[in-house]
Structure 1
Amino acid sequence: MNQTKTYFPGALSLVAIGALSACGGGDGDVATPPVQMACASVTTAALNLSGLAVASAVSTAASGAGGLASSYPAHCQVKGAVNQRTGIDGKSYAIGYDIRLPASGWNGKFFYSGDGGLDGAINDPLGTSALGGKTNALSLGYAVVSSDGGHTDGAGGLDGSFGLDPQARADYGYNALGTLTPLAKKIVTQFYGVAPSRAYYTGCSKGGHSGLMAASRFADQFDGIIAGNPGMDLPKASIAQIHDTQQFATVNANIANAFAAKDLALVASKILAKCDALDGAADGIVTDQAGCKTAFNFSTDVPQCATGVTPDGTCLSAVQKTALAAVFAGPKTSAGDVLYADWAWDPGLVGGGWSFWKTFLNPNLGAIAMGNVWATPPVAPIGPMSAAATSYWQNFKMDTAYTAIYGTNATFTQSAMDFMGMPDPLNLPALKAKGKLLVYHGTADPVFSSNHTASWYSRLQAKDTAAASYARLFLVPGMNHCGGGTATDSFDAFTPLVDWVEKGSAPDTIVATVGAGNADKPAAWSSTRSRPLCAYPKHAVLRSGATDLESAASFVCQ
């Protein structure tokens, strides 16, 4: 019989972890593997897996204290590559991997830790994503694997030159995940002498996109998947990045100066004035996004400065209002055709992550990704903070945007929307038959619109009334991209996923707190503020008679 639960941060206590180790961690888990290879014995020849090479296998000592995401137990770390080749651009390519195998206390399970950005490096080899910042998958006894997405990076996370090779594009989009997962499971099986009983995936941002690839293309490989702030239809999101940059440039050629902090604070205050109390609590958090869309009118609710008056935190200039309205409406062609999605008016736009994306990453990453990775054919490699990047976004035409991301030719036979997209986003039979998908998304995400994700989920529910039995969405009010913002942005989403998979307990709420490193926390908030995140389309509202606005217990999902 299925049950529902509310989950609290830190639910995986040391006591619980010890119990898992003692009993094997759940149905079908293995407390003591029947056979375990010596780490030094893990070699290319010993594994004998087609296309897979082992570069190193090193016994790594435990490090750090318990309760830290950066700590880890003693383990065997295996690094190597799959399908080494030379691309059509003459560069060397391979799907690089890093796999961590607990020396003792393996819980019998497999954990794929997702990628990030344009890839090119191992993103999260310990498996920290979605665990609330207090531990990692390796410390919980999982065998953890992560990948570089099929290429190496030469520009600090902003290298899109791999996009000049069609296979590297496909590897980045989906194939690295699909190729490495079964091979990594075979490594685990050979190392411990038994196959893993469960397989999980977690990731945020591009890692969230890969979570959607896992759910739509490789659901047979995973029992549970977390996709955080996912880059759904990521090439379309890049159109929005360029669109936003162009709009900011109409205000100031130096886009970093288009909106001062006081300008964004003004907009946030007006959003709060109309939307904060819709959930019954004037607490600096907007949970009722649907109600806010009706209640808040940017055009009339945010004052416009008189002609000749400099914005001073009490009004925006006419050009600022025009630009920001266009940004939140989303990119369109000159004929008004929608190219991506609109954005939620959320007070979290005052977060440092919001401005960093809009004024630095958008003009760089947007141009690099579009020009080198999405466009067919690609342009010459674009470097970050270069004249080429500026020229690209300045001259990009919204009317031909879809030509770029849907285009193919004899060399690039898959369009960007082919290799980055879910093949059939409203039809997920393999996931429905086997696994569970938990998606979360901050409503003040500046790069991937939470409205876009919510629209997909609403359409999935409309098509399949049983969708909530295998896929659930949790919006995080105020949160920027994967964290930060005026939000309770720290939460353990992995424990409820495991309980959903292994115990049939579908999560209705997940309790979130203010992250210890969240520099955007308003001074008036308690450092221990907590809130329930609600399974969409529900949102948190104040309980009748409740007065403690710092406690999740004062709120209910409805």
Structure 2
Amino acid sequence: MAVAEGYAAVSSDLGHNAFAPSAREWALDDESGHVNVARLLDFSSVALSEMAILAKDVVQQFYGEVPKRSYWNGCSGGGRQGMVLAQRFPDAFDGILAGSPSLSWAHSMPASYWSNFAMRLLNIHPSPCVMNAIAAEVIKACDDRDGVIDGIITEPDLCDFNALLLVGKHVDCGDGVDVEITLDVVILAQKMWQGMRDQYGVPLWHGFSRGSLWHGTECSSSEAVHNHSCSPTLYRVVIDWLSLFLAQNPDLDLYQLKLTYPEFEGLLRLSVAGYRSIISADSPDLHEFKKRGGKIIHWHGLNDEKIAPGGSKAYYAAVAERDPAVRDFYRYFEAPGVGHCGSGPGPAPSAMMAALTTWVEMGMAPDSLPAVSEDGSLSRIVCPYPLVVTYLGGDPDKPEGFGCWGSMGEPEDQTGWPLYVGWGWDDVETVVWA
């Protein structure tokens, strides 16, 4: 697509087979059985810088001049890579578009095991049918708070629906399977919304938004659905991270692994201590990137079912605390109702590259971005955090009926700020040059 739009484009396998479903073939050294740190460094950051250098050289040799501007566009793992470039190689790109990034990789990968851990503690493995029915009830309860009933919760953090009210209710899961919502199932849903916690209830990582869909189990029979005894599932990248990089044991069966709370917390500490400096992209120091005139558009769907959007919000807040003028070079957009990298019923931001190039080349920062749902049925806008897309009146099916206001509909003050401030190994990244 980038080439068709007139750009020179390049991508990289970052030192591994980008189409392999697992990191098993490169994660561990063949002789020692320990982590192949050189390859992990390539994947995490080193190959990104080299790719930029080599690609610009190829462009110069082919066209006889260096690119005037360089841009990065990536989502999920590609989003993390874009932020790594801004933090560690600020001279590589002029503009970075980062979507749904796992910025704090070393934290979020162990935290992704939280659903399996919680299900084992509760001895309950509910079906997606039941868990998504709970999500539907949450949406039904909080949908109209933004003034429009459209199946989308604009501010999930403000939804205070008490899921305990659902205990004892029944869900029709098709084929005559009637399932009761039990107390343990509701507790599991609450744990997913709260996020990973230690044995004393202290938060360790962000949870998923109320209303986001469930992908924690798969069911092989109607009996399993009825009895809440389905099989747990994990994304391949999480399996690889825990078994290969933390345990360094490719034969580790994570589905049979019985961890205590201290052992589970130990996974997080091990991951952070051993790998944060290598693979995470959560340093709030972007002053070098800003100094050379770089611009960042970062966005995250609030219904992301793979990477909790709270990590993106916390990172932006950390950058803003360090640099109160953060909006001069970096804007973060939240997309209500949108799943990972644009899936789901909510409208995901579009025309982002055009907005980024306009900002870099003309100095015009985006005050909002056009947004459209995956099926094309819903057109809206998304707003730069901490502003919230707000229904202003008129036709709710047209983006003109919406604006960017403060949380809970409070208008901006005269300074432009609101009155109230409330991946995978096979991910594809794209780099484009004007």
User: What TM-score, normalized to structure 2?
Assistant: 0.80
Match of residue 167 from structure 2:
304
Taking the aligned partners of 2:128 and 2:315, their CA distance within structure 1 comes to 33
- Consecutive unaligned residues of structure 2, counting only runs of 5 or more, are 29-34, 219-229, 406-434
Does residue 190 in structure 1 map to residue 55 in structure 2? no
Give the 3-state SS of the residue equivalent to 1:339 in structure 2. coil
In the alignment, does 2:72 pair up with 1:201?
Answer: yes
Query: Quick check: 2:216–2:232 contact (8 Å CA) kept in 1?
Result: no
Q: 1:153 to 1:539 in 2, by over 3 A?
A: closer
Which residue identity does 2:118 align to in structure 1?
Q
Deviation of 1:344 after TM superposition, in Å, equals 2.1
The amino acid of 1:271's aligned partner reads: I
Does 2:385 match 1:536?
yes
Give the match for residue 304 of structure 2: 445
Aligned partner (choices 75, 83, 96) of residue 225 of structure 1: 96
Match of 2:253 in 1: 388
- Describe the shift of the 1:143–1:233 C-alpha distance in structure 2 as closer, same or farther (beyond 3 A): same
- Whether 1:551 and 2:419 are equivalent positions in the alignment is no
CA contact (8 A) 1:474 1:536 kept: yes
2:144 alignment partner AA: A
Shift of 1:279: 1.7
Kindly provide the amino acid, as one letter, of the partner of residue 177 in structure 1: L
CA contact (8 A) 1:177 1:210 kept: yes
Match of 1:487 among 323, 346, 355: 346
Q: Distance in 2 between matches of 1:361 and 1:234?
A: 20
- The question of whether the paired residues in 1 share the 8 Å contact of 2:348 and 2:373 is answered with yes
Q: Summarize the Cα distance change of 1:228–1:446 in structure 2 as closer, same or farther, 3 Å threshold.
A: same
After superposition, residues 89-108 of structure 1 pair within 5 angstroms as none
How far 1:361 sits from its partner (Å)? 6.0
Which residue in the other structure is 2:221 paired with?
none
State the match for 1:420 in structure 2.
279
The residue number in structure 2 matching 1:287 is 154
CA contact (8 A) 1:160 1:369 kept: no
| Structure 1 residue aligned with 2:48 | 177
- How many matched pairs? 382
Deviation (angstroms), 1:472: 0.6
Letter in 2 for 1:457: Y
| Counterpart residue number, 1:166 | 37
For residue 237 of structure 1, the aligned residue among 97, 108, 123 is: 108
Q: Identify the match of residue 317 of structure 1 among 182, 199, 202.
A: 182
Q: 1:503 to 1:314 in 2, by over 3 A?
A: farther
1:187 aligns to what SS in structure 2? helix
Alpha carbons 1:532, 1:555 under 8 Å: kept? yes
Q: 1:401 aligns with which of 267, 270, 277?
A: 267
Matched, 1:259 2:108: no
**CA shift digits 1:364-404 (9 cap, x unpaired):** 4322112213x2xx42225xxxx734245767932212332
Structure 1 CA distance for aligned equivalents of residues 217 and 82 of structure 2: 26
Report SS of the residue matched to 2:50: helix
Give the CA deviation at 1:251.
6.1
Alpha-carbon distance, 1:286 to partner: 1.4
**Kept after mapping to 1: 8 A contact 2:100/2:340:** yes
Residue of structure 1 in register with 2:244 after alignment: 372
SS across alignment from 1:528: coil
1:511 and 2:376 are equivalent in the alignment: no
Mark the structure with the bigger radius of gyration.
1
Which is worse superposed, 359-368 or 447-456?
A: 359-368
Q: Which residue type is aligned with residue 187 of structure 2? A: T
Q: 1:515, CA displacement in angstroms?
A: 2.1
Which of residues 254, 263, 278 in structure 1 aligns to 2:145?
A: 278
Contact 1:349 1:485 in 2 (8 A): no
TM-score by structure 1 length? 0.63
Letter in 2 for 1:325: Q
Q: Offset at 1:310?
A: 8.4
Distance 2:315 2:56 in 1: 31
CA distance in 2, matches of 1:225, 1:432: 12
Moved segments of 4+, more than 4 Å: 249-253, 309-315, 353-356, 358-361, 392-396
Q: What's the offset of the Cα at 1:262?
A: 4.4
| Contact 1:239–1:331 under 8 Å retained in 2 | no
Map 1:46-125; keep pairs closer than 5 Å: none
- Displacement after TM superposition at 1:269 (Å): 2.3
What is aligned with 2:319? 460
**Structure 1 match to 2:223:** none
What is the alpha-carbon distance in structure 2 between the residues aligned to residue 333 and residue 528 of structure 1? 42
| Counterparts of 2:23 and 2:114, CA distance in 1 | 19
Q: Distance in 1 between matches of 2:153 and 2:179?
A: 22
**Cα 1:260–1:551, aligned 2, differ >3 Å: closer, same or farther?**
same
1:252/1:489 Cα in 2 relative to 1: closer, same or farther (>3 Å)? farther
Superposed CA deviations along residues 113-138 of structure 1, whole A, max 9, x for unmatched, are xxxxxxxxxxxxxxxxxxxxxxx211
User: Given that residues 110 and 242 in structure 2 are in contact (C-alpha distance below 8 angstroms), is that contact kept between their aligned partners in structure 1?
Assistant: yes
The answer to whether the Cα contact below 8 Å between 2:87 and 2:286 also exists between their aligned partners in 1 is yes
In structure 1, the residue matched to 2:213 is 349
Identity %: 26
How far apart, CA to CA, are the structure 2 residues paired with 1:456 and 1:497?
20
Aligned-partner residue type, residue 344 of structure 1: S
Q: Aligned residue for 1:213?
A: 84
1:336 corresponds in structure 2 to: 201
Counterpart secondary structure, 2:41:
helix
Greater relative contact order: 1 or 2 (C-alpha under 8 angstroms, separation 6 or more)? 2
* CA distance in structure 1 between the partners assigned to 2:216 and 2:374 by the alignment: 17
Structure 1 residues not aligned, in runs of 5+? 1-135, 408-414, 517-526
RMSD over aligned CA atoms reads 2.8
Equivalent residues of 2:303, 2:337 under 8 A apart: yes
